Structure 1
Amino acid sequence: MITGAYARQMARYNRWQNSQLAGFLQELSPEELIRERGAFFGSILGTANHLLWGDWIWMSRFDKGPGPESNPHRKGGGIHESVHLCPDLAHWLPLRETIDARIDTWVGTFGDEPISGPFTWYSAAKEEDITLPYAVCVIHFFNHQTHHRGQIHKMLTEAGSGAPVSDLVFLPEEV
């Protein structure tokens, strides 16, 4: 279905997107970042927090390392509390870099062969263990990122900001 090469490409895309996104977020005032915008996760920062939380929780499942529950700023650990992962950009930016580096390390463990086999994790949302093909979980991980960055892109443009170039075909060779 997918290979390690796909996962490495998507990790590069993730880092590129987050690097661009960080620049646009830093240009906004704190008020613009937390302004309620009617999005599922409320604000630009709330959605960026949820995106980061999702990456972190999936990485803790994939690499068995610490998850969002280890965050000193956390207010609960579930999906609904994910909007509060970081109180501001000063906390979000370094954590984003840390998780992106962790993603890079994880995808570096894949060879070029197809990703296969089952993957089991405990879902707090479902309150049960879930088992799906590992490849489907990897695809979901990267798709989740793209989905929420698209929401942030929309909110940035509505706020009168520029927004990152998001076309995968324009991913630079070096990121």
Structure 2
Amino acid sequence: MISSEYCRLMARYSTWQNTSLVNAADGLTNSDRWKDRGAFFQSIAATLNHIYWADALMLERLKGNGRPEETIKHSLASPSNWDDFKVLRTQRNEEIEEWAARLVDADLNGTVVWYPGDGSTRMERPTALCAVELFNHESHHRGQVHAMLTAAGAEPEPTDLSLVP
């Protein structure tokens, strides 16, 4: 399905795109970042927070932690301070890139198991599919943020995968 090289490329792409959105949002006021713009998570800041925490959950699952909610549940308060968010986002980008750098193709075989929510339901999916989901989920919501930023007058970088630095 996919390879470790695909994950490394997508991790680099993810860092580039997350940085682009953060840099574009940096030019807005805090009020503008939190303004309800009619998106699923209402605002630019809330959508960026959602991407950040969803990355944490899936990355923990890919690392073999079947109950990541127990690991980060005390951290799920959305960062409301923009400077704090920027530091945390940079750290999460690095964590994803480090995970991808250590992968070999065989790591993508097998199954990821986790127990969402109250832990009574067991979820099981192919590891490769979960890796794709990590990057696909980010791309989906980054598209929403890109549209909100553009409407707010900010200018994120292009999103073409062929332009990844």
Given the two structures, how large is their TM-score scaled by the length of structure 1? 0.85
**Gap regions ≥5 residues in structure 1:** 76-84
1:24 and 1:15 map into 2 onto residues whose CA distance is: 14
**Gap regions ≥5 residues in structure 2:** none
Partner of 2:113: 120
Matched, 1:138 2:142: no
Partner of 2:72: 68
- How far did residue 163 of structure 1 move? 1.9
Partner of 1:169: 162
Q: How does 1:21-40 map to 2 (within 5 A)?
A: 21-40=21-40
- State the SS of the aligned residue for 2:102: coil
Partner of 1:51: 51
**Size of the alignment, in residue pairs?**
161
Identity %: 34
* Contact 1:56/1:67, CA 8 A, preserved across alignment: no
Amino acid at match of 1:135: A
Q: 1:128-164 CA distances to partner (integer Å, 9 max, x unpaired)?
A: 1100111111111100000000000000111121122
Partner of 1:80: none
Report runs of 4+ in structure 1 exceeding 4 Å deviation.
none
1:58 and 1:67 map into 2 onto residues whose CA distance is: 12
Given the two structures, how large is their TM-score scaled by the length of structure 2? 0.90
What RMSD over aligned residues (CA atoms) do the two structures have, in Å?
1.9
- How far did residue 19 of structure 1 move? 1.4
Higher helix share: 2
1:127 and 1:144 map into 2 onto residues whose CA distance is: 24
Q: Using CA pairs below 8 Å that are at least 6 residues apart, which structure has the higher relative contact order?
A: 2
2:118 and 2:156 map into 1 onto residues whose CA distance is: 32
Could you say if the C-alpha distance between residues 112 and 132 of structure 1 is closer, same or farther in structure 2, counting changes exceeding 3 Å? closer
* Contact 1:33/1:43, CA 8 A, preserved across alignment: yes
Q: 1:30-79 CA distances to partner (integer Å, 9 max, x unpaired)?
A: 111000011000100010000101011112222248843242xx44xxxx
- State the SS of the aligned residue for 1:136: helix
